[in-house]
A and B are shown apart, each in its own frame.
Chain A
């Protein structure tokens, strides 16, 4: 996270007060409620949170791939390399997608077209963004290169998705995303569908690719271990809000103050070096996104919640790069109210 006053690095991605709703005839689902974060060129940010926190919705919004009829971006802006994604025309969007920004999808079993060969599916984005005027042979050469990169023998490019295992399909999904060497890669739970041994391989591969190509990465996951391995910045998401944002150091340092939800997340991971009888899961469930609580969204589950937590939306308190959205932070030394955040029109 770069603070507003000094910007040492160029920003790849800047999300400002993004608000996304799913609108149906019966109800409005408040999926993402005014989140802001930014990502420097070559940086990595981990978006952490439990299922239904709005992580995937955020990712889809970044590419404007939300379901057309129901998914609505109500507020905010997304700046990619300084230009607004939301204000882009369809044509500009098509140029961005695939080449500047690419996404690794969550479910490799459904994300590939069953009737096209994987070679065709990988070469498609190269073909669509062929500004260098590659010949068909050169495009095939690039496909082979990408396949080698993700560890699939290029000879298999004439095969169809059903001929691959889950782990191999995830590699194909990654190959599709990497084919045009995008500037920004969004990895939406790239390892959730895989078993543990393959998970490590796939993560290592994503890291290697990022390091080699200098790609900026948004890593979406519910697994703090993955974040610790890959990300230099972390954003913790709860009920469509970012409750805590900071560098990996800020977040993983247990000495620091944290949002109660972040503490809860850490409490539910087993540690090898400590003797703990039982893990402490966070009690309760995420609030219904069609009817969010009046005060802090986490207050119904929060062990530290006070009277004001139930009534007023918390402000964001900042110390350096570390931001926490919690009432209890107002009394903690070194953390000051973020002014910019105050202007954000809170929903409700």
Chain B
């Protein structure tokens, strides 16, 4: 098991290299340069060249990439933002908790609602307890996040004044963003749980359990749930990682200073180190979460555990 985890962690190295090279190349080969954006329209070519030189942007692409990677590997230094001249590492550390908290709360909400309701709809298939939640879920899944976010803002902070509309200072600030991001996710989770559960309760071993005289509740909770959860765990893990990098609309709407806004602003201002830093951090987190999911698998499914340890045990 430990060997497997180590192998997977080592496997992250080529992934990070690949992602960093791709993003770096895209940023470098798209038209424009940071200095002309920072200095604006009125700047002279001389001033632009001067600033680009200061930022190190006048060097050839491969050389810049090499320096960037070397600094990270040798000094764990992600460089300075072209615009603010502040170290990227500090900014990442300030923004990560916000993105993390938002994604975590949203996925938690999604699990708390999506999984139990998904199980209910599967067990009560074709009854009102199936159709009603399904319709509600379809509505939430179809709503664009930004629109739902605006509705929530309008209702709860503008009209009712219960929750603040922007900022990230207290946990109360996270309630609306959590709802805006988490409810559509809960809908997806519910649909997924439903289909996974439906497939599981049609398996032969469920019939075996019934043939032993097991009551329905035991059949569902003891025999079906653990099997149905296996694909759900994957979705929870991947979606959690995705929500951290996917929350642009929500972050912008509620003025949450998270990683997504950092990437968006970075792209707009050609701030290569900002975009690179946030992207690499998200990539690493994503890989770690997927690894975590795979480890959790082993505790649910003994077949996978046996595969990891490479033995029959």
Task: Return A189 CB to nearest CB of chain B, in Å.
Answer: 13
Residue of A with least CB distance to B307: A162
Task: Return A107 CB to nearest CB of chain B, in Å.
Answer: 6
Task: Return A252 CB to nearest CB of chain B, in Å.
Answer: 31
Task: Return A204 CB to nearest CB of chain B, in Å.
Answer: 23
Residue of B with least CB distance to A186: B211
A114 contacts B by Cβ under 8 Å: yes
Interface positions, chain B 180-222, Cβ under 8 Å from A, are 202-205, 207-216, 222
Q: How far is the CA of A129 from the CA of B215 in the complex (A)?
A: 12
Report chain B residues within 8 Å CB of A149: none
A163 contacts B by Cβ under 8 Å: yes
Binding site for A on B (CB under 8 A): 125-126, 202-205, 207-216, 222-223, 226-227, 300-303, 306, 312
Q: How far is the CA of A162 from the CA of B223 in the complex (A)?
A: 16
Known: A115-B227, A162-B306. A97 touches B204 (CB 8 A): no
- Are B213 and A128 in contact (CB-based, < 8 A)? yes
Q: How far is the CA of A60 from the CA of B208 in the complex (A)?
A: 11
Task: Return B164 CB to nearest CB of chain A, in Å.
Answer: 45
- Are B300 and A94 in contact (CB-based, < 8 A)? no
A200 contacts B by Cβ under 8 Å: no
Q: How far is the CA of A113 from the CA of B202 in the complex (A)?
A: 12
Report chain A residues within 8 Å CB of B203: 110
- Are B227 and A113 in contact (CB-based, < 8 A)? yes
- Are A105 and B208 in contact (CB-based, < 8 A)? yes
Q: How far is the CA of A95 from the CA of B212 in the complex (A)?
A: 9
Known: A107-B204, A110-B205, A114-B205. A65 touches B306 (CB 8 A): no
- Are B211 and A114 in contact (CB-based, < 8 A)? no
- Are A115 and B301 in contact (CB-based, < 8 A)? yes
Known: A110-B205, A114-B302, A115-B302. A97 touches B212 (CB 8 A): yes
Task: Return B84 CB to nearest CB of chain A, in Å.
Answer: 52
Q: List 13 A-B contacts (CB under 8 A).
A: A65-B211, A105-B204, A105-B207, A105-B211, A110-B205, A111-B204, A111-B205, A113-B223, A113-B227, A114-B205, A115-B302, A116-B223, A160-B302
Closest 4 CB pairs of A and B: A98-B213, A125-B212, A97-B213, A110-B204
- Looking at the complex, which one of B126, B212, B216, B300 makes contact with A115 (CB distance below 8 Å)? B300
Per-residue 0/1 for A28-71: is the Cβ within 8 Å of any B Cβ (1 yes, 0 no)? 00000000000000000000000000000000100101010100
Q: How far is the CA of A107 from the CA of B222 in the complex (A)?
A: 21
- Are B226 and A124 in contact (CB-based, < 8 A)? no
A244 contacts B by Cβ under 8 Å: no
Q: How far is the CA of A73 from the CA of B284 in the complex (A)?
A: 57
Task: Return B266 CB to nearest CB of chain A, in Å.
Answer: 45
Task: Return A73 CB to nearest CB of chain B, in Å.
Answer: 16
Report chain B residues within 8 Å CB of A176: 208, 212
Residue of B with least CB distance to A117: B302
Residue of A with least CB distance to B205: A113
- Are A98 and B212 in contact (CB-based, < 8 A)? yes
Q: How far is the CA of A94 from the CA of B212 in the complex (A)?
A: 8
A14 contacts B by Cβ under 8 Å: no
- Are A69 and B126 in contact (CB-based, < 8 A)? yes
Residue of B with least CB distance to A122: B212
Residue of A with least CB distance to B210: A65
Report chain B residues within 8 Å CB of A105: 204, 207-208, 211
Q: How far is the CA of A116 from the CA of B212 in the complex (A)?
A: 15
Q: How far is the CA of A155 from the CA of B239 in the complex (A)?
A: 41
Q: How far is the CA of A177 from the CA of B208 in the complex (A)?
A: 9
- Are A111 and B208 in contact (CB-based, < 8 A)? yes
Q: How far is the CA of A162 from the CA of B205 in the complex (A)?
A: 13
Report chain B residues within 8 Å CB of A129: 213
Q: How far is the CA of A77 from the CA of B248 in the complex (A)?
A: 64
Q: How far is the CA of A104 from the CA of B120 in the complex (A)?
A: 30
Interface positions, chain A 71-108, Cβ under 8 Å from B, are 90, 93-99, 102-103, 105, 107
- Are A99 and B302 in contact (CB-based, < 8 A)? no
Report chain B residues within 8 Å CB of A265: none
Residue of A with least CB distance to B208: A111
Report chain A residues within 8 Å CB of B212: 97-98, 102, 124-125, 128, 176
- Are B204 and A114 in contact (CB-based, < 8 A)? no
Task: Return B305 CB to nearest CB of chain A, in Å.
Answer: 9
Residue from B205, B214, B222, B300 having most chain A Cβ neighbours under 10 A: B205
Given contacts A96-B213, A105-B211, A116-B226, 19 further A-B contacts (CB under 8 A): A94-B214, A94-B215, A97-B210, A97-B213, A102-B212, A103-B211, A105-B208, A111-B204, A113-B205, A114-B301, A114-B303, A115-B226, A115-B302, A124-B209, A128-B212, A159-B312, A160-B306, A173-B208, A177-B211
